[in-house]
């Protein structure tokens, strides 16, 4: 469960790319806490921070997509993007529920296995597509046309 930055993570939009860095840092921090068997509260706070930054990221990207010209290519990407984000949000909500159920026992749920690495890989692939759409349809394109 590690979001690793690579060339697919770079969209060319500073605010989104900065979010990618924060997601990577938060996921790495959470994994380190789990590996070091940190206490419940520490792990929960790290999970909640990762969840919040992911939600902010999803919202930011979806707002950016809505600012592009609305055509079939954008709509197809938006559907794929939203589906991925919704799946991620479902997993994060499930993780949050696991924390709530285990709070009394103070037992850290297995959140490391909660989000398969494939979800992070898919997120990178979608962001790579987003970079292409920004380059093709972004505001700077309509300004130079």
pLDDT at 143 over 70: no
Share above pLDDT 70 across residues of the chain, in percent, rounded to a whole number? 93
Give residue-wise pLDDT tens across range 28-76.
Answer: 999 999 999 999 999 999 999 999 999 999 999 999 999 999 999 999 9
Residue whose tokens read 């709530």: 100
pLDDT at 7 over 70: yes
For the chain, give every domain's residue range. Answer: 7-144
Q: State CA 126 to chain mean position distance.
A: 11
**Vertex 21 angle, CA 141 and 122, to 5°:** 75
Q: How many CB atoms lie under 10 A from the CB of residue 70?
A: 12
Architecture of domain 7-144: Up-down Bundle (1.20)
Task: Identify the residue with better confidence: 120 or 46.
Answer: 46
Q: What is the chain's length?
A: 145
């Amino acid at each position: 469960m590690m979001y690793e930055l690579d060339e697919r993570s770079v969209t060319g939009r500073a605010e989104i790319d900065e979010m990618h860095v924060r997601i990577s840092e938060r996921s790495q921090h959470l994994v380190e806490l789990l590996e070091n068997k940190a206490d419940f509260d520490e792990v929960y706070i790290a999970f909640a921070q990762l969840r919040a930054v992911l939600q902010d990221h999803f919202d930011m990207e979806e707002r950016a997509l809505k600012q592009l010209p609305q055509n079939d290519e954008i709509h197809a990407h938006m559907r794929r993007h939203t589906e991925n984000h919704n799946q991620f949000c479902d997993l994060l909500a499930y993780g949050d529920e696991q924390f709530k159920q285990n709070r009394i026992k103070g037992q850290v749920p297995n959140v490391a296995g909660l989000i398969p690495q494939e979800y992070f890989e898919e997120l990178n692939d979608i962001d790579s597509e987003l970079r292409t759409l920004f380059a093709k349809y972004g505001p700077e394109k309509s300004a130079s046309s």
